[in-house]
Amino acid sequence: MMDAPNGVDFIQKSKSFRPPSSYVEQSYITSADMYSEIYRASIEDPVAFWSDIADELDWVHREQTVIEGSLPDFRFFPGSQINVSLNCVDRHANNPLRRNKVAFFFEGENGETRSLTYLQLHRNVQKFANVLHNFGLAKGDVVSVYMQNLPETYIVLLACLRMGIIYNTVFAGFSPEALRERIVTSNAKAVICSNGSYRRGKVLALKETVDAALQGEHAVRHVIVFNRIADLATPMVQGRDYDYTELMRTAPATCDAVPLDCNDPGLLIFTSGTSGKPKGIVHAGGGFLLGTYAYSKYQLDLRDEDVYWNTADIGWLTAHIFVLVGGLALGVTNVIYEGAIDHPHQGRLYEIVERYQINKLFSAPTAFRMLMKYGEALAQTYDLSSIRLIASVGEPLNPEAWNWVYRVVGGGHAVINNTWGQTETGGTPLASLPGATAMKPGSCGVPFFGHSLDVVDHEGRPVKDGTPGLLIIRTPFPTLARDVFGNRNRYLQNYFEQIPGAYITGDSAIRDHDGHYWVLGRVDDVINVAGHRISTMEMESSLIQHESVVEAAVVAQPDAIKGTVPVAFVTIDNRVLPDDGLAKALQLKVIEDIGSFAKPERIHFVSVMPKTRSGKIMRRMLREVLEGSVIQGDITGLEDSDALTMLISEVQDS
Ligand code: PRX
């Protein structure tokens, strides 16, 4: 029976687009040859590559050594001292040409707008650093930050980075249990929150959640509350809770940054595990700066004149990689937005692009698919001509969505950059170099400088190009997670044990004959039906092309005869009836597009998908729903736990 290349048909069928020539002129890397040459040199001599990047940053003290050790025990610039906030704030505030430039345009979901210059940011960050200091918080302490996208959230995080205080952002909207788990696991000494957040027209009472999370034992001594919503009742606990604005009013306006070793922990972010407790991923502050600066510069071509909007929530690492650290290190003007990008009307995202004349837009496939559902006519009522680059991360960007975004949102003149990264990689080791490499709809582009990637089998042997395998990274890089908080064994076992000397991503991928990578999903998401290996991404892509389908997720279900069979979950246009006729039509579509072996055994019509706050469909939960109704793994990452209950009952009824 045939094995690969089943499931890779879409790669063969894929078209390739050259970057628009108007874009190439303003790109750092201007041709495929230039990329290949720099890439080759960076792999041969990573020390020279990272040393050149380091030269572009401000150091407090710099030693000679660039890279020490190897995976999993490695350090970048050991003994060298650097501070993230000096690079993201002070150096722009001290530059007469940049200090009065807008660092943030803020737009609240309720329509409120504000802006903050680099000089204003500088003053506020120093004041809040003094607030932290006055509470006795110091280098190495952990604080939990439970805030939505607000300028104050950025001020808080930069102040932590200034003092070497390790911050842990938790999605504002997570339940009290999820927040409590993170506070307790990280041994946080303080919580910084806003009193509430606007989300889809509703008010989320965040301080109430913090109070509930702090019932019982924990190490939190202080809670600092930013009153985002003036008329929201916010009871304060005497001696524990403090008002942000009051504290800022009296705080001194200057505060020296603490010099930190490049490898000192800077931030902590939890990622949901497939089972058991969520993992606290630890990133080194200096390392994170070094890498995110390089990714933001070369993969987004960020420049002084850019007005750049990354829609990611601050609870997701993407916002730290490409806004808080990468974006600010490059001194661009960032747009930050508080709420849902289709509220109060479906054109909200377009309206913001038009209002600020955004030229670089970064979002996620779930958002692009949503825009696609709202239709082309809506997009055409806005002026989107300022857009030059559209980037994406988080899930496969299926070719249909890619083409739609390219044509409708980018007007055929923008670069689409489907980047690939993980919370653990702290950046995007795969992406296009926008002015240089060809764009292939659905592909994640090429390896970033200094990163040696490979696709291997389970024993670590490289597979042939065009064949799916396990994606691994063989070189250390500065943004790679340094630890799982409080659990070194889990770090080593999860990421390094299976293939010695390499970091294991857990994703499955194909490298094509041009050296472009196609990430297919988690390894568990590649289905083996009677010897045929099928990628769920390809099946989902096929289903999504059907006019009635909004979203699709395919998972494997054990089958006595075939080993496993694919089962599809789909959400459909609410004007269409989910009947047997439609189910048959969808099965036929997959048969036509891929082959009869890929036919989904069953189609479940569901009204919602279980998703993370970053919009990723939690396929693991769909598998568990099929196996029975008890969800074993961690569910604290779910955006909406009611969705799961509804899903279980819909599947049981169907
Ligand atoms: O499976 C891959 C998928 O998302 C996972 C990482 O998720 P998270 O930690 O939330 O990412 C934070 C982003 C910095 C990966 O293991 N993924 C991410 N990007 C892509 C992707 N899958 C396919 N294509 C992508 N572009």
For residue 395, report the distance from its CA to the centre of ligand 1, in Å. 5
What pLDDT is stored for residue 11 in this prediction? Answer: 76
Residue 6 above 60 pLDDT?
A: no
What pLDDT is stored for residue 3 in this prediction? Answer: 37
Residue 373 above 90 pLDDT?
A: no
What pLDDT is stored for residue 645 in this prediction? Answer: 81
pLDDT digits (tens, 9 = 90+) for 542-588: 898 898 998 999 998 888 777 788 999 999 988 888 899 999 999 99
Query: Is the link from the previous residue into 46 a cis peptide, with omega within 30 of 0?
Result: no
Domains of the chain in sequence order: 118-258 (3.40.50.980), 530-653 (3.30.300.30)
Residue 521 Cβ < 6 Å to ligand 1: yes
Residue 481 Cβ < 6 Å to ligand 1: no
What pLDDT is stored for residue 518 in this prediction? Answer: 95
Of 63-72, 338-347, 609-618, give the lowest mean pLDDT range: 609-618
Helical (H) or strand (E) element with 390: strand 389-392
The residue ranking higher by pLDDT, 537 or 318, is: 318
**Measuring from atom 23 of ligand 1, which residue has the nearest CA?**
396
| The CA-based dihedral angle spanning residues 263, 265, 266, 272, taken in that order and rounded to the nearest 10 degrees | 120
- What is the largest distance, in Å, between two alpha-carbon atoms of the chain? 74
Average pLDDT over residues 268-291: 87
Residue 284's closest CA among 267, 270, 269, 271?
Answer: 267
Average pLDDT over residues 101-126: 98
What pLDDT is stored for residue 9 in this prediction? Answer: 65
CB within 8 A of 132, min separation 6: which ones?
143, 159, 160, 163, 165, 190
pLDDT-derived band at 105 (thresholds 50, 70, 90) equals very high
Alpha-carbon distance 519 to 257, whole Å?
40
With beta carbons less than 8 A apart as the criterion, state whether 300 and 391 touch.
Answer: yes
pLDDT digits (tens, 9 = 90+) for 475-488: 999 999 999 999 99
What pLDDT is stored for residue 629 in this prediction? Answer: 58
Residue 317 Cβ < 6 Å to ligand 1: yes
**Measuring from atom 6 of ligand 1, which residue has the nearest CA?**
422
Residue located via tokens 């709809």? 441
Q: At 510, list the tokens.
A: 């194909």
What pLDDT is stored for residue 60 in this prediction? Answer: 98
Residue 618 Cβ < 6 Å to ligand 1: no
Average pLDDT score over the chain: 93
Alpha-carbon distance 230 to 228, whole Å?
6
Distance of CA 264 to the CA centre of its chain: 22
pLDDT-derived band at 5 (thresholds 50, 70, 90) equals very low
Residue 291's closest CA among 90, 74, 519?
Answer: 74
Ligand 1 atom closest to the CA of 537, numbered from 1:
23
What pLDDT is stored for residue 640 in this prediction? Answer: 72
Residue 480's closest CA among 58, 69, 187, 59?
Answer: 69
Alpha-carbon distance 355 to 392, whole Å?
21
For residue 392, report the distance from its CA to the centre of ligand 1, in Å. 10
For residue 426, report the distance from its CA to the centre of ligand 1, in Å. 11
Mutate which of 318, 519, 536, 616 for ligand 1? The one with the most ligand atoms within 8 Å of its CB, which is 519
What pLDDT is stored for residue 525 in this prediction? Answer: 74
**Measuring from atom 8 of ligand 1, which residue has the nearest CA?**
422
Residue 393 Cβ < 6 Å to ligand 1: yes
Average pLDDT over residues 396-418: 95
What pLDDT is stored for residue 67 in this prediction? Answer: 98
The residue ranking higher by pLDDT, 605 or 646, is: 605
Residue 271 Cβ < 6 Å to ligand 1: yes
Residue 594 above 90 pLDDT?
A: no
pLDDT-derived band at 206 (thresholds 50, 70, 90) equals very high
For residue 272, report the distance from its CA to the centre of ligand 1, in Å. 13
Ligand 1 atom closest to the CA of 419, numbered from 1:
26
The beta strands (E) that lie in 135-178 are given as: 142-146, 166-169
Ligand 1 atom closest to the CA of 430, numbered from 1:
26
Percent of the chain with pLDDT over 70: 96
Distances (CA, A) of 289 to 31, 306, 452, 573, 644: 26, 20, 20, 43, 37
What pLDDT is stored for residue 2 in this prediction? Answer: 32
pLDDT digits (tens, 9 = 90+) for 114-150: 999 999 999 999 999 999 999 999 999 999 999 999 9
Residue 1 above 60 pLDDT?
A: no
For residue 243, report the distance from its CA to the centre of ligand 1, in Å. 37
Residue 235 above 90 pLDDT?
A: yes
Residue 423 Cβ < 6 Å to ligand 1: yes
Ligand 1 atom closest to the CA of 505, numbered from 1:
16
With beta carbons less than 8 A apart as the criterion, state whether 165 and 133 touch.
Answer: no
What pLDDT is stored for residue 648 in this prediction? Answer: 83
Alpha-carbon distance 338 to 249, whole Å?
24
Ligand 1 atom closest to the CA of 393, numbered from 1:
19
Strand partners of residue 75: 68
Alpha-carbon distance 371 to 502, whole Å?
38
Average pLDDT over residues 333-361: 97
For residue 449, report the distance from its CA to the centre of ligand 1, in Å. 19
What pLDDT is stored for residue 212 in this prediction? Answer: 97
Residue 7 above 50 pLDDT?
A: no
Average pLDDT over residues 104-110: 98
Q: At 648, list the tokens.
A: 């279980």
**Measuring from atom 24 of ligand 1, which residue has the nearest CA?**
396
**Measuring from atom 7 of ligand 1, which residue has the nearest CA?**
422
CB within 8 A of 384, min separation 6: which ones?
350, 353, 354, 409, 410, 411
What pLDDT is stored for residue 638 in this prediction? Answer: 74
SS3 135: coil
Average pLDDT over residues 92-106: 98
pLDDT-derived band at 4 (thresholds 50, 70, 90) equals very low
Average pLDDT over residues 593-612: 87
Residue 495 Cβ < 6 Å to ligand 1: no
What pLDDT is stored for residue 646 in this prediction? Answer: 81
Average pLDDT over residues 226-245: 97
The residue ranking higher by pLDDT, 320 or 542, is: 320
Residue 522 Cβ < 6 Å to ligand 1: yes
Helical (H) or strand (E) element with 569: strand 563-572
The residue ranking higher by pLDDT, 10 or 138, is: 138
With beta carbons less than 8 A apart as the criterion, state whether 86 and 58 touch.
Answer: yes
DSSP class of residue 525? Answer: G
